[in-house]
Amino acid sequence: MRGLIGLVLVLGVLWSGYWFVGGRGFERAANAWVTQLQDSGKVVSHAGLAVQGFPNRFDLTVTQPRFADPATGIRWEAPFFQVLSLSYKPWHVIAALPSEQRLTLDGQAMTIRADKLQASIVAEPAPALPLDRLTLIGDGVAVVGDAGWSLRAQALRFATRQAVGENAHELGLSVTDFAPDPALMALFEEALPPLVGLIRLDAVAGFTAPIDRMALQTHPRLASLDITEARVEWGDLRAFATGRVIADAAGFAEGAVTLRLENWRLALDVAQNMGLIAPEDRRLWDQAAGFLALGSSDKEAIDLPLQFKGGRALIGPVPVGVAPRLR
């Protein structure tokens, strides 16, 4: 019995030593990351950084974190930020975000509120810590701009995992009961309900560099996107898209995507209300859509083969807009 007690005490001392060494290493790594950001020209500050959770967790809490990138104008601040992990599996972390935070993008300052907002990040246990998978969960999410606009969603789910191919990741996005800005809804003149029932994306994204701890130096950018399915369900209007695009030298999408519209007459009503179709051109659009619907088993659905080339979006030889920018 004395030997067993002694063994337990020795193991306890060793584990305690491991935790305190690991905890200090966790804290040093966080401080080194802050220094790395500052050395790269970013403005980073906080009111405190501490590691707790003995004996089975490494829980890093950063108080009043602030981040700014003068080159892009991105700014972010929050009352706190937490990174939580099990002490025996430090390459799997949970990032917990507060119920309210501030963000500035493209000169637009906004407040982000959520009932729940957290991420699970799993890296491979290798020196570069390449990303294996990521899951982001948001419930009761609201984004309110200082300029008066707002966006809301009942639930947000986003996930990635490594895919076959160099620097490739599978992507999954689901947004339910999304409420667009009221000013945008006013343009629709009640042609659509106030909530978008579902926005979903299943795709495989290829990047120019691995997503790992060296990403601040390598700057991974989107190189390709294989869309298995993109779906929007908004009242009686449904839109689907599949296809593959790559980023051209200017960063615009290049490739082909097939867009399917169900209830195309409603889609044209919405486009006209938004000013995308002039009233005097509506008859021409109806005739063109009706002609496309002839080849479909559902005469209320049309399939549009979109081509992206040279920064333009085309249906056949006809330009219909600007190609989306991938990077």
Question: Who has greater pLDDT, 303 or 179?
Answer: 179
What pLDDT score was predicted for residue 11? 47
Rounded Cα–Cα distance for residues 250 and 325 (Å):
9
Instruction: Tell the burial category of 316 from Cβ atoms under 10 Å away from its Cβ (0-12, 13-18, 19+).
Output: exposed
Over residues 287-307, the mean pLDDT reads 81
DSSP letter at 97 equals -
Residue 217 has pLDDT above 60, yes or no: yes
Residue 257 has pLDDT above 90, yes or no: yes
**Highest-scoring range by mean pLDDT, 53-67, 213-227, 233-247:** 233-247
- Tell me what percent of the residues of the chain surpass a pLDDT of 90: 48
* Residue 291 burial (CB count, 10 A): 10
Over residues 161-190, the mean pLDDT reads 90
Given its phi and psi angles, is residue 275 left (phi above 0), alpha (psi -120 to 50 degrees) or beta? left
Closest by CA to 309, choosing from 260, 243, 245, is: 245
Residues near 12 by beta carbon (within 8 Å), at least 6 away in sequence: none
DSSP letter at 235 equals T
Over residues 151-174, the mean pLDDT reads 95
How much is the pTM?
0.85
Rounded Cα–Cα distance for residues 200 and 241 (Å):
10
What pLDDT score was predicted for residue 274? 77
User: pLDDT-based confidence at 22, cuts 50/70/90?
Assistant: low
Which of 59-63, 157-161, 183-187 bottoms out in mean pLDDT, i.e. has the lowest? 183-187
Rounded Cα–Cα distance for residues 82 and 56 (Å):
16
In the beta sheet, which residues pair with residue 45? 66
